[in-house]
Amino acid sequence: MSDPEEFRVVVVGAGLAGVAAAIKLERAGIDDVVVLEKAERVGGTWRDNTYPGCGCDIPSNVYSFTFNPNPRWTSTFALQPDILDYIEDTAEKFGVYRKIGSVRK
């Protein structure tokens, strides 16, 4: 990864929206992007919240990116582990990990 000052776009956070932003920007032809993430993994709130029963309150299919539908949801309302797996799989599939820079001290 290059010096962060050389990037055209900085995405803050590698949660659901940050992963989507990095992918959409690259698809739009903007590949000089860095995703700044304080944690060691992608996932945002779905990485950080692991309490019993944690999951989405909308149907799982709505939690799929249009560019990467998830046919493997295990229930109508996905639980945290399934959502985190989906975000991690999407980041891997679309090369988001190579765009991540750390903001950890």
Q: Kindly state the average pLDDT of the residues 49-69.
A: 94
pLDDT of residue 105: 52
Number of domains in the chain: 1
Q: What number is the average pLDDT over the span 71-100? A: 96
- The enclosing domain of 39 has a CATH number of 3.50.50.60
Name the residue range of residue 75's domain: 4-102
Q: What is the mean pLDDT of residues 2-10?
A: 68
| Angle at 10 (CA atoms; ends 13, 27), nearest 5 degrees | 95
Mean of the per-residue pLDDT values of the chain? 91
Q: Is the pLDDT of residue 14 over 70?
A: yes
Phi, psi of 90 (to 5 degrees): -65, -45
pTM attached to this predicted model: 0.88
Q: Residue 68: pLDDT band by 50, 70, 90 thresholds?
A: very high
